[in-house]
Amino acid sequence: MRLARKRSRARGLTLIEVLVSMAILSMIAVLIYADFDSLGHAKKVETIRGDRARQARSGMLRISRELSGAFLSMHNPANLALQVRMTAFVGQNSSPFDRLDFASFSHKRVEANAHESDQAEIGYFASPDPDVEGKMDLVRREQTPMDMDPKKGGAVNVLVEDIENFDIRYLDPTTNQWTETWDTLQPTGQFNRMPLEVRITLTLKNAPSGLDPVYTTKVMMPMQQPLSFGIPR
């Protein structure tokens, strides 16, 4: 009788018990995997959201900083045949993507002892991504030294990817009205006049959930009049 009781206590698990245990362990493993997968997805989404927001903010800050250095200059040689550069501030309206080209004290030398000034032609406009159909990027153009065509030339680099809208408005100090275009080169435009303020609106396309796709900023233009040091008026 005692031997039978010892054998009963020492018997192993039945097949059903093993299967039930394996099922429970499998469910626990699935739940743990789902939690880790959810955390990984959330982290990926947050990384994308942060990268997009950071890119848009840094792009707008750069535009604001370089617009603050925009200028016009009346320093030209007496013999116009010797003129090698031209300053301008030209804003073109082309909804949904406007364009702005201007002269600015924004160039940064990256090589020691480089024979370069801080003056450069800067341009901002939308350009299609050659690798992704239907994708438009906000790009920045910089030409240094400046030349006679203030709207062409230089190196072009992507500033903000995948945008839906790039809108620029200009506050005319003579009328106190916002206008969609500005051209300091045309006598019928705003010849040799800078806007008092520039308003920029950038809208991201395919912005991640939870991210505001619209970024807006205003920039006061410090240098209203063309530079004319030493030039009698």
pLDDT for 9 equals 55
Q: CB under 8 Å to 184, separation ≥6 — which residues?
A: 72, 88, 89, 90, 190, 191, 192, 193, 194
pLDDT for 143 equals 94
The letter for the amino acid at 31 is L
Q: Of the ranges 132-141, 203-212, 224-233, which one carries the lowest mean pLDDT score?
A: 224-233
For residues 205-228, give the mean pLDDT: 90
pLDDT for 140 equals 97
The model's confidence at residue 194, banded by pLDDT at 50, 70 and 90, is very high
**Is pLDDT above 60 for 3?**
no
Select the more confidently predicted residue: 93 or 35.
93
Whole-prediction pTM value? Answer: 0.78
**Is pLDDT above 70 for 6?**
no
pLDDT for 108 equals 87
C-alpha–C-alpha distance, residues 107 and 154, integer Å: 12
pLDDT tens digits along 31-73:
777 766 666 565 666 777 888 999 999 999 999 999 999 999 9
Q: Of the ranges 96-105, 150-159, 207-216, which one carries the lowest mean pLDDT score?
A: 207-216
pLDDT for 62 equals 96
Residues of the chain with pLDDT > 70, as a percent, come to: 87
pLDDT for 170 equals 97
Which of 188, 194, 191, 134 shows the shortest CA–CA distance to 161? 134
For residues 96-103, give the mean pLDDT: 97
Indicate if the alpha-carbon torsion angle 147, 149, 152, 158 is positive or negative.
positive
DSSP string, the chain: -HHHHHHHHH----HHHHHHHHHHHHHHHHHHHHHHHHHHHHHHHHHHHHHHHHHHHHHHHHHHHHHHTB--B----SSGGG------EEEE--TTB-EEEEEEE-----STT-S--SEEEEEEEEEE-TTSTT-EEEEEEEESS--S-TTS-SEEEEEESSEEEEEEEEEETTTTEEES-EESS-TTS-TT---SEEEEEEEESSPPTT---EEEEEEE-S--SPB-TT---
**Is pLDDT above 60 for 93?**
yes
Burial class (CB in 10 A: 0-12, 13-18, 19+), 173: middle
**Is pLDDT above 80 for 155?**
yes
The model's confidence at residue 116, banded by pLDDT at 50, 70 and 90, is confident
